[in-house]
Amino acid sequence: MPSATFLLRGPRVAIRHVTRHDHAELTELSRRSTGLHHPWVPQRETTPEAFAEHLARFEQPTHEGYVVCLHGTGDIVGSVNINNIVRGTRQCGTLGYVAYAPTAGRGLMTEGLGLVMAYAFEELGLHRLEADIQPANTRSSKLVERLGFRHEGHSPGFQFIDGAWRDHDRWAITREMPASGSRQSAPCA
């Protein structure tokens, strides 16, 4: 993928909007990452039609969808959504994200999520980002904690995943909170 399509670039990864051309790669990465994602991520259909419906969400002003890519090759290492964006006096959104098994555990999602955060605060003008994480998903909690999120509370029965209402811990960060080194970015020309 040419670098001109990247929105922001870090030392190892860059972010860009997800496109219809990503369907095959994301389907294969999701298949290979089932063990990493279960039981934290809802199972989704992988048909071209379901992917088109997924992309249609990002045509709305309330949702943004990104992929995190190695900027040398363009290979996808993660996906990040900003969901339920509220404007007006709130200027906030809720993050959803996944790393993919072939490259998990290398810090690439810390860098990539940091880039999405920078983009959300600088380019989208958001003030606050939230992440809702199941308490036993310690890898995800440590990721947002590394990026400067603070734990704000616990919500029982918060989201229906894998056939049950799951508890979630609420994490958040605002643009005024101290930035971690992972939120440093370089705009792409």
Side-chain half-sphere CA neighbours of 124 within 13 A? 29
Helix, strand, coil abundance in the chain, percent, nearest 5: 30, 35, 35
* CB count in 10 Å sphere of residue 71: 19
What pLDDT is recorded for position 71?
87
What pLDDT is recorded for position 162?
84
What pLDDT is recorded for position 124?
97
Are the CB atoms for 129 and 173 separated by under 8 Å?
yes
CATH label of the domain that carries residue 115: 3.40.630.30
What percentage of the chain exceeds 90 in pLDDT?
77
What pLDDT is recorded for position 181?
45
What pLDDT is recorded for position 41?
81
Segments forming the whole domain that contains residue 125: 3-187
- Give pLDDT < 70 ranges for the chain: 1-4, 179-189
What pLDDT is recorded for position 46?
83
Indicate the number of domains in the chain.
1
Give the strand pairing for 128-133 and 92-99.
parallel
What pLDDT is recorded for position 2?
44
Mind giving me the DSSP string for 28-86? Answer: HHHHHTHHHHTTTS-----SHHHHHHHHHHTTSTT-EEEEEEETTT--EEEEEEEEEEE
